[in-house]
Amino acid sequence: MPRLAYVNGRIVPLAQASVSIEDRAYLFADGIYEVASIFGGALFDWPLHLERMARSLNELQIRAPMSDAALRIAAERLIRKSGVSTGMLYLQITRGAARRDHAFPDARTPPGLSMIARPFDFSRRVPEQQVGMTAITAADQRWSRRDIKSVALLPNVIAKQAGKEAGAYETIMIDPDGTVTEGSSTTVWVVDRDGTIVTRPLSHAVLPGLKRRRLIGLLEDAGETVAERSYDVAALKDAAEVFVTSTSSPVMPIVSIGGEAVGDGTPGPASLTACRLMWEEIERQTGWTPRAGSPGGD
């Protein structure tokens, strides 16, 4: 399988891909990104990614490098040439390359666009979902505009590394007032003792996760009670169930936090329902399922 990258209009071998040392993403983390899942060669929920990307660009006053239609053509061409059937597409847009100066460069400076498609075995998530994963908590040290999908991810990196060193799947971040925000790379959900499925309301404090957006609709259509409200670390640890969502883990039950069991220490019914609903939606959109021999399966 060729390792390729799209860089500012050209598809090149990954080892030869490069951007200017004056690109503002390198100098100032002045850019945004998206990560979309690929199932059977098809992009999942791509219109939602375009919508969120446009919002992030608008918030940072970065011009879109091309039209949505042209971007889709470029992304699908890269996926096809890379030979990726099931995996992820990473897309990054920056303010472009210009002499180092904190203020924005001339408006005529072209934005930078790069993309990489790489394989990822989503089918491995199924056995992981059946047993669940672990998490720890850590202080949320990020900036105040977490709703923008910025490439400035150093606090997330530090939190993820802390989880890795603790042998945990995810690090759940806590604001100074004790409010749960989100995971280092996931949206966090809790299930109350009364069975209500709860996740944080959208604000500048959290990223508008696309799996979050999709799953709220799926759960409500299935008759589940969903509430968008803030909750603190005490409620997190007292929850009957906890699960997280993200591009690489569409839904993942969390069965212990900081070494303490969540509920009875196994994935609960609401978490497993969420897993099932997401796989069904992926199949509906793309025809892919994690079952062996399914269309587009690896």
159-168 per-position pLDDT tens digit:
999 999 999 9
What per-residue confidence (pLDDT) applies to 2? 84
What per-residue confidence (pLDDT) applies to 298? 40
What per-residue confidence (pLDDT) applies to 19? 97
259-266, Cβ contacts within 8 angstroms, sequence gap of 24 or more: 262/237, 263/239, 266/131, 266/132
CA 232 to chain centre: 22
Distances (CA, A) of 135 to 18, 162, 168, 242, 260: 36, 10, 5, 10, 10
Which of 81, 149, 164, 211 is flagged as catalytic? 149
Spans in the chain with pLDDT lower than 50:
292-298
Q: Could you give all domains of the chain from N- to C-terminal order, each with its CATH number?
A: 4-120 (3.30.470.10), 125-286 (3.20.10.10)
**Residue among 235, 241, 132 at smallest CA distance from 197:** 241
What per-residue confidence (pLDDT) applies to 1? 74
What per-residue confidence (pLDDT) applies to 273? 98
Q: Is 211 a catalytic residue?
A: no
Contacts of 231 (CB under 8 A, 6+ apart): 179, 180, 190, 198, 200
